A and B are shown apart, each in its own frame.
Chain A
Amino acid sequence: MKRKTDHQPDRQERLYPEKVVEQTRTNLVLAARGVIDLLRANPTRPKGMDYFDKVVLGIYQEDANLSTGKNREKLIGTFCLSTPEELIYAAGAVPVRLGAGIHATTPMGEDYLPVLSCPIVKSTVGLFHLKLLSVYKRCKLVIIPTTCDWMKKIGEILGNYITVWTLEVPQVKEREPARRHWVEEVYGLKREIERFTGSKITKNRLREAIRLIQRAQLEFRRLYRIRMRETPVISGSDAMLIMNAYSYDEVDRWTAAMSRLNDELEERLRERVSVCPKNAPRIMLTGSPILFPNWKLSSMIEEAGGIIVCDDLCSSNRYIYDPIAIDESTMPDMMIAIAERYLLPCTCPCFSPNNERIERILQMVEDFRVTGVIYHVLRGCHLYDFEERHIHEILQGKGVPQIKIETDYSLEDRGQVQTRLEAFLEILQGKESW
C-alpha cells in the first residue's frame, strides 16, 4: 500500500522559527561530535574505527561523504531490519536506515505523536518536519515494515513529507499462509523498487546483490568471532557504531573498511591489546535498538567499568547476522530465500510467539561468556518492555543477573542510571572475585 503526499489533506504545518531550526541543527551536530569525541578519547581504540567515524559524522555534518559513491542518486529509506536490502542494491539504489537517535528533534516530534510514543519515532518525525540532514531529504521513497505499533502508524505522518511504502510483516511466522503472504509482499516490494528506480531487478543482479551482502556478513561474523575471544579488543560502543555506520554506508565500502579493521583486531588479539581492565564484567546488551547518536547507555556502561562483549540489538548485532543460502539461482528460489531470511530468524518482539529471541540470548550468553545482561528499554517501547520479565526469569534460572534500564534520549536521568549501573557492575565484580 502506498500513500502519496498529494492525496493527503495538508496537516497544519507547524512552522518553527528559523532560529529554532538552526539551534536544533547545531545541537544534533554537537551531539554526534560529542559521541565520536568520547569514543576517540579511549587511547586503546583501534585505528580502523576512523572510517566509521567519518561515515557517521558525514551524515550529521552534511559533508559530501555520502555523495561520493556511484549510486548516490537513488537513496531508499528503510526502517527496522525487515526490509530486504538485497532488493534495493539489486536495483542499483542504496538503502539508508532512517530510524533516528537524536534528542534535539524529539520535542518537534512530540507535537505530532501521542505522549507515550517511543523516542525513535518522535526523533524521526521531528527530523522530517524540520527538514534537517540531507540524507533524510534526499530519500524519495521510504519503506516502512509493520513491525511494532509505532512503525505501523509512523508512515501516515511521514506520508506528508515523502512517498511511503508500507511493507506488511506477518506477526505470527510459524504458519504457511503468513509465509506465503510475506513472499507476496516481498514480490510487491520488488515491483515498487523497480518502479521507483526505473531499473529491472534481474536474476543476475539479484544474485550479485545477495553476494555483496554475504561478503559483508563474512566480515561482520569475523568481528563477531573476535569479540567472542577472551581479550576484548574492541569496545561495545565501537562495535555498535560500526553497525550504525552500516545503515548509512554503501555495503562494499563498508565491507572493505571492515576487513581492514578485522585485520587490525586480529593483530591486537595476538598482542593481547585489551580495551578494558582485565576483570571488567562481560556485559550483554539487549532490548530496544540503540541508534546513533544515542550512545548514552552504552558509553555509561563502559565508563562504569563494564565491557559490552555482545548485544542482540536490531540496530547492531542482529542487523546482518543471518546469511542467505543461494541454492538455485532462479528468481523464485532467491526471492523465497530473501523473504525467509528477513522473516524467520528475526527475533523482534513484534512476533508472537518469539522463542527464537530467548534461544539466541542463551546461546550468546554461552558463546561470549557473559556475566551480566543489561536490558535496555526505550520509554514507550512496549514490546521489549513486555518480554523483559520473561527473559529475566529465564536468565535467573541460568545464574545470569539482568538489570532493566528504562530510559529515553534525554540526559536528565543520567545520574540515576549511572548509580544503578555502577551498583550492578559492582555486584557482578563481587560475584567474579568470589
Chain B
Amino acid sequence: MNVSRLRQLIQILAFGLLVFGGFINVDLTHYLPVCSCTFNDAKGGSCFLAGLQCILTKPFDQYPLDNWWPLLRLTKWILYTVLFFIILNKAWCGWLCPFGAIQDWLTILRKKSGIECARFSWLTHDKLKSVKYILLFLLIILSVGIGNSLFGLPRLTEDLHVPMCQICPARPLIPIFTGDFSQFFINFKSTTKIVMSTLGMTLLGLVLVGSFVKKRFWCAYCPISAFTSLFDNLGLMQLKKDGQRCTKCGNCSRVCDMEIREIAEERDRENIVTQDCMLCMRCIEACPEDLALKATFLGKNVFASSFEGFMARQCIKAEGNRER
C-alpha cells in the first residue's frame, strides 16, 4: 500500500462521509475547509464559506453598536474553521475534499484513456493564482453589501444572497450524487438569479472539462484555499524540504497536481507548504533523494522521501537473488 493508494481510499471514504453522511446522522459541522456543499441535504459536514457569507449579510444596524453579537459570531465562525483547518493543514484539500476527489477521479479517467495532461505556461499559471483571492474578496464585499449600504451606495439585491455559492461549481454537482437535481438548473426568478446561476452552470461545465485535461483544475481558484492558506504556517501537518539534499531534478514539480515550481526551486526555506499546496504528498513519492522532502505531523516524520521507496513505487526491483 503506497501513499497514493491510501489517499485514494481515504478520498473515497471522506466522499462517502461528507456527501452521504446525513443519511446516517453524521454531522461534522459546517465549519469545514472543504468543498462539501451545504445545499446537499444528505451532507455529513459542509463548507464554512456558506455560513460565513450569511453572517456577513446580516445588516449591522440590526444590532445596537454596543452589542458585539455579529462580531462575536463572525469570530467564532472563523475560529472554529481555523481550528478544524490547522489539524490537517492543507491535507483537507488533498485528502478529504469531495470536489477535489471528483477532479482526481476525472484525472484517473484521463490517464486510463492515455490523453496527455495540459500545462499552463509559467506566466499564465502565476497570473491565475490571484483569481482565488479576487473571489474571496468579492464574496465578502458582496455579502456585506446586501445587508448594508457600503460607501453610501444603495444596498445590493437580496437575490445575490450567498454570491459564491451561486456560482460555485460544486453546488449543482454534489447534490446530484444523492439523486437531488434541485440545484442543477438555471434560475429564472430574476435577472440577477439568471446571471448567477448561468455563471455557476457554465463554470461547472468548464471545471468538468478543465479537470479532465488538467489536474485539479478548480483548486487553483478555490476561495476556500485563499482563506485557509493564510493559516498554513499554523498547521500541525507540514511539508518540509532539506535544500542541501535536493538535486533539483524536477521530479516533484512535474508530478505536482498544482504545478508548484517552488517545491523544486526553493532551497532556503524549510517549510515548503505554498498557497496552492494540498499536501497530497505526490512530490515526496516522486523524490529519489533520502529525506529531501518529508511530511511531518507535530514535528514527527510521517512520510519521507527515500531512494528505495522511490524505486519501489516505480516498480523497479533489484535483479538477481540478493540476500537480505
Contact = CB atoms under 8 A, between A and B. Distances in A.
A211 B249 CA distance: 17
B264 A344 contact: yes
B249 to A, nearest CB: 4
Contact of B247 (A222, A322, A325): A322
A273 to B, nearest CB: 16
Contacts of A266: 323
Kindly state the interface size class of chain B when it binds its partner.
35 or more
A328 B213 CA distance: 13
A327 interface: yes
Contact of B254 (A176, A329, A340): A340
A172 to B, nearest CB: 13
A323 B311 contact: yes
Interface in A246-267: 255-256, 259-260, 263, 266
A324 B322 CA distance: 24
Contacts of B320: 256, 259-260, 263
A400 interface: no
A214 B319 contact: no
Interface in B91-137: 111, 114-117, 121-123
Nearest to B123: A176
A356 B248 contact: yes
A215 B248 CA distance: 21
A268 interface: no
Given A221-B307, A362-B244, A327 B255 contact: yes
Given A322-B288, A323-B288, A325-B254, A359 B316 contact: no
Interface of chain A, helix or strand or loop or mixed?
Answer: helix
A263 B255 contact: no
A67 to B, nearest CB: 24
B267 interface: yes
B318 interface: yes
A219 B116 contact: no
B67 interface: no
Contact of A360 (B122, B247, B307): B247
A116 interface: no
B250 A332 contact: no
B251 interface: yes
B260 interface: no
Contacts, number: 94
A268 to B, nearest CB: 13
Kindly state the interface size class of chain A when it binds its partner.
35 or more
Interface string A331-342: 111001100110
A34 interface: no
B322 A263 contact: yes
Nearest to B319: A259
A325 B251 contact: yes
Contacts of B111: 328
B300 interface: no
B229 to A, nearest CB: 24
Interface string A291-333: 0000000000000000000000000000001111111111111
B237 interface: no
Given A340-B249, A344-B248, A363-B245, A215 B319 contact: yes
A8 interface: no
A204 B286 CA distance: 21
B264 A325 contact: no
B117 to A, nearest CB: 7
Nearest to B307: A221
Interface of chain B, helix or strand or loop or mixed?
Answer: loop
Nearest to B321: A263
Which of the listed residues B249, B254, B267 has the most CB atoms from chain A within 10 Å of its own CB?
B249
A176 B288 contact: no
Interface in B305-324: 307, 310-311, 314, 316-320, 322-323
A355 interface: yes
B67 to A, nearest CB: 55
Given A327-B255, A330-B115, A355-B267, A344 B250 contact: yes
A269 to B, nearest CB: 12
A69 interface: no
A218 interface: yes
A34 B318 CA distance: 34
Contact of A336 (B254, B264, B318): B254
Given A259-B318, A360-B247, A325 B323 contact: no
Interface in B41-73: none
B249 A176 contact: no
Contact of B314 (A214, A263, A328, A341): A214
B135 to A, nearest CB: 26
Contacts of A107: none
Contact of A345 (B248, B255, B323): B248
B272 to A, nearest CB: 16
B114 to A, nearest CB: 6
B316 A215 contact: yes
A232 B194 CA distance: 76
A333 B249 contact: no
B243 interface: yes
B250 A345 contact: yes
Contact of A176 (B122, B243, B244, B317): B122
Which of the listed residues B246, B311, B319 has the most CB atoms from chain A within 10 Å of its own CB?
B319
A400 B268 CA distance: 22
Contacts of B316: 211, 214-215, 218
B295 to A, nearest CB: 18
Contacts of B123: 176
Given A328-B117, A340-B250, A222 B318 contact: yes
Nearest to A337: B254
A341 B286 CA distance: 13
Interface string A188-230: 0000000000000000000000010011001101100000000
Contacts of A321: 247
Interface in A155-179: 174, 176
A356 B243 CA distance: 10
B116 to A, nearest CB: 4
Given A325-B255, A332-B116, A345-B250, 18 more contacts: A176-B121, A214-B316, A215-B316, A215-B319, A219-B318, A323-B314, A325-B251, A325-B286, A325-B288, A325-B314, A327-B254, A330-B117, A331-B116, A336-B254, A344-B249, A344-B250, A345-B249, A356-B247
Closest 9 CB pairs of A and B: A345-B249, A325-B251, A340-B250, A325-B286, A345-B247, A344-B250, A330-B116, A327-B255, A332-B116
Interface of A: 174, 176, 211, 214-215, 218-219, 221-222, 255-256, 259-260, 263, 266, 321-333, 336-337, 340-341, 344-345, 355-356, 359-360, 362-363, 366
7 contacts: A176-B123, A211-B316, A215-B316, A219-B318, A222-B318, A323-B314, A345-B248
Interface of B: 111, 114-117, 121-123, 243-251, 254-255, 264-265, 267, 286, 288, 307, 310-311, 314, 316-320, 322-323
